[in-house]
Structure 1
Amino acid sequence: MFKPRGVPGRGLDINNIEIDEFEAMRLCDLEGKSQIEAAEAMGVSRGTIQRLLIKGRKKVVESLLNNKGILIEDKE
């Protein structure tokens, strides 16, 4: 879990980022792959990558702006 520095973990609001959202952000934002390349790497459609990026980025930005923790969650 990632949390804001200086904010106690107890009672901290947390945004759960699904592992697929995280992987889509890693491929596109960190590795610089196109959405098509990321889709091929993950075995999904480009539209799915776009939806994962929108959801994941929204959670990250909301967490940063509102002092929330981030938990990367594997649904399996």
Structure 2
Amino acid sequence: MPRPKIARRISCRPAYQCFKPNGVPMTELTAIPLAADELEALKLVDMNGLNQQAAAQVLGVSRQTLGNIVASARHKVASALVGGMALELASPPQRDREKE
């Protein structure tokens, strides 16, 4: 049985639900899902320029876990760009207010 996932601190919502090649209908494309924590990790490390230790603290995970998330996200983005596939962006899950 795998360990339960630690809750991540996601601060951004994607502007769109997907990115795809121009002029190709979505029905004709293979879609690659990009999780909310993968998008947040890319934003923190690649766009904001944080080092992995600082980004891991913001996301609320270990540095090793952040490194794994970033590697997975970069692989998905590169595969979509090179292979002409769509990226489906997941919105972060809604937190249950009753548990807080």
Q: TM-score range by the shorter chain?
A: over 0.9
Q: TM-score, normalised by structure 1?
A: 0.93
* Higher helix proportion (structure 1 or 2): 1
Identify the structure with bigger relative contact order (alpha carbons < 8 Å, sequence gap 6+).
1
Equivalent residue, structure 1, for 2:77: 60
- When structure 1 is superposed on structure 2, of 1-10 and 32-41 the one drifting more is 1-10
Which residues of structure 2 form unaligned runs of 5+? 1-17, 94-100
The corresponding residue for 1:24 is 41
Deviation at 1:53, TM superposition (A): 0.5
Report the equivalent of 2:62. Answer: 45
Please report the TM-score for the alignment, with normalisation by the length of structure 2: 0.72
- Number of matched residues? 76
Structure with bigger gyration radius: 2
| Worse-matched range after superposition: 29-38 or 4-13 | 4-13
The one of 2, 14, 34 equivalent to 2:31 is 14
